[in-house]
Structure 1
Amino acid sequence: MTLQDTVLLVGHGSREAAGNEEIHAFAARWRARQPDWRIELCFIEFASPGLHDGLLQAARGARRVLVLPLVLNAAGHVKMEIPEAIAQARRQCPDTEFLCAAHLGACDPLLDVLQRRLRQAMNALDLPDPGSTGVVLLGRGSSDRQANGEMAKMARWLQEEGDHELVDLAFTGITWPRLERVVQRQALLGMTQIVVLPYYLFTGTLMQRIVRQVGHLRTQYPRIRFACGEHFGFEPEISGLLEQRVAELRTGLPASALPCDGCSLRAIARDLGHGHTHQHTHAEAIAA
């Protein structure tokens, strides 16, 4: 890593201060892990510095800015807001090169994290029979089918790599099914234990809501034992993935296909003769 490079972590941001503090703590740990790198941090929403200011700050004294979305799935923020902000920064800082990496995405390192979380939950339940223990992978949810599809892929991988016959997918918002409905189905199928695995990087209002929901479910289903995993932003696989993204950008290796490839929103915008911007998205896409 040359001194002319700035690595810019782009976190989502949270209405809950504890979530933003965790992202700052993650950045501090990563700086300690890579002391020769200049690592800056900004947020898409709910916290400062914002994306635009973060890009301009990262460009100061840098020949190149390596933008790393600290995001699990690609929806509106990754597909539209980050590229638009980078395009604006390029216009304002023409002497600085801006390169953007892919989001974290569905991959084996994240599967490793989920498998470890599942083992921890099974240990907490005193190692019950996996055949009678349902698993629910619980994510944010999006109006973007590709983002939801990445979640479905992770749930399928988790099932294929383990002994649990029943691994379901649920969402905390935007789309369905929700956690309560999936638990109802698993209870009807005779599950005597249910493990809820949140698919979140850091804490925040949604993680707090999940803990409350699992508490309500314990009351609703007193004969079922529940275990709830934790978010996994501080796991070493996350830092490793980001370092892989940096290496890809620095060596010029092609990252995975742009998350907009095949996106219906991009196709509509192209047909209209416009760029892939918020002005040509529907309300749900913006909400994602």
Structure 2
Amino acid sequence: MNDTTILLVGHGSREDSGNQEIRDFVDQWRARQPAWRIEVCFIEFAAPSLHDGLLAAAQSSRRVLVLPLILNAAGHAKMEIPEAIEHAREHAPGVEFLYGPHLSACDPILAILKRRLRQAMAMLDMPDPTTTGVVLLGRGSSDRGANGDMAKMARWLQEDSDHELVDLAFTGITWPRLERVVQRQALIGLRQIVVLPYYLYTGTLMQRIHRQVDHLRAQYAQIRFACGTHFGFEKEIFELVEQRVHDLLAGVPDSRMPCDGCSYREIAHDLGHGHSHEHTHAPVHVHPHTAQAQPA
């Protein structure tokens, strides 16, 4: 690993506390893996930028493993990061760039949600799942695959719990919104509602969620609300990114990002980007699942 840099790509937030949490995550990850060279960059709102991070990593390495610290794959994971990698390849032709998949809908993320749900239920006066609705609340995307990943997690959470209703809501971009879902759950007589944010780190949106839940408490005085927290520094997140590193080094292919129905195919074509859905391993603009690593 002496010739390899692991570059973790965070989204970035207008609220610097969220960016600092990602920096703190990297510090903890370095402590877990002292033999690894781990750096961080951000897609927006914080420094270093994605482009600067890639070029800086390339200056001191023969190989850069690019890992998106992103839950769902949409425009950032499908277009922006791959395009930035292609730009870095042009400026550092002797460096191998390997792109890992986003965190995705998976059992480790489900384990975090189940733990968050248990914690929230313990906050309620009557921890009875049969009278408690659950709302999985995410950012929302114009990409149906990203929204579908959240729907999958909501379904998995329902099947692995005693709750009869686990709904899905979004803070923006798409629908339904939290207020509408709470209205529906109130109409069917649920006495308690748990809101589970589907977010990695804090930021302006997490702050908005807590304000929304406070407003809902005032609006629905007959209902008890409990609100979970973002995922943060859970062990499953560290284990997931570590598994991404091992998979890239071992050349393990990834199939979590299907091209069928991808809205970015048409967008990229219209904009003239080299967004390729060819399932090859040529050094073109590729989805993460088409970029395989060579064994170390």
TM over 0.5: yes
SS of the aligned residue for 2:133 comes to: strand
SS of the aligned residue for 1:56 comes to: helix
* Counterpart contact for 2:104–2:256, Cα < 8 Å: no
Residue number in structure 2 paired with 1:163: 162
Shift in CA distance, 18/140, structure 1 to aligned 2, threshold 3 Å:
same
Q: Please list, as runs of the form range in 1=range in 2, the aligned pairs for 1:1-288 lying within 5 A after superposition.
A: 2-258=1-257, 260=259, 262-267=261-266, 269=268, 275-276=274-275
SS of the aligned residue for 1:175 comes to: coil
SS of the aligned residue for 2:195 comes to: strand
Supply the AA of the counterpart residue of 1:207. M
Structure 2: 5+ residue stretches without partners:
276-284, 286-296
**Separation of aligned partners in 2, 1:257 and 1:229:** 27
Residue number in structure 2 paired with 1:280: none
User: Displacement of 1:126 after TM fit?
Assistant: 4.0
Supply the AA of the counterpart residue of 1:213. Q
**Separation of aligned partners in 1, 2:124 and 2:66:** 41
* Counterpart contact for 1:135–1:195, Cα < 8 Å: yes
Shift in CA distance, 127/256, structure 1 to aligned 2, threshold 3 Å:
farther
**Separation of aligned partners in 2, 1:160 and 1:14:** 33
**Separation of aligned partners in 1, 2:271 and 2:213:** 46
* Counterpart contact for 2:143–2:263, Cα < 8 Å: no
Structure 1: 5+ residue stretches without partners:
278-288
SS of the aligned residue for 2:70 comes to: coil
Shift in CA distance, 265/199, structure 1 to aligned 2, threshold 3 Å:
same
Task: Give the number of aligned pairs.
Answer: 276
Superposed CA offset, 1:211-264 (max 9, x none):
000000000000100000000121000000000100110000102344555413
Shift in CA distance, 119/127, structure 1 to aligned 2, threshold 3 Å:
farther
Supply the AA of the counterpart residue of 1:197. L
Supply the AA of the counterpart residue of 1:264. S
User: Displacement of 1:269 after TM fit?
Assistant: 4.5
Supply the AA of the counterpart residue of 2:13. S
Supply the AA of the counterpart residue of 2:130. G
TM-score, normalised to structure 2, is 0.90
Shift in CA distance, 272/137, structure 1 to aligned 2, threshold 3 Å:
closer
**Separation of aligned partners in 2, 1:48 and 1:165:** 44
* Counterpart contact for 2:73–2:257, Cα < 8 Å: no
* Counterpart contact for 2:110–2:156, Cα < 8 Å: yes
Supply the AA of the counterpart residue of 2:229. E
* Counterpart contact for 1:79–1:259, Cα < 8 Å: no
Tell me the percent identity: 74
**Separation of aligned partners in 1, 2:197 and 2:126:** 20
TM-score, normalised to structure 1, is 0.93
* Counterpart contact for 2:114–2:157, Cα < 8 Å: yes
Supply the AA of the counterpart residue of 1:239. F
**Separation of aligned partners in 2, 1:184 and 1:158:** 21
SS of the aligned residue for 2:20 comes to: helix
**Separation of aligned partners in 2, 1:259 and 1:41:** 27
Give the root-mean-square deviation of aligned CA atoms.
1.6
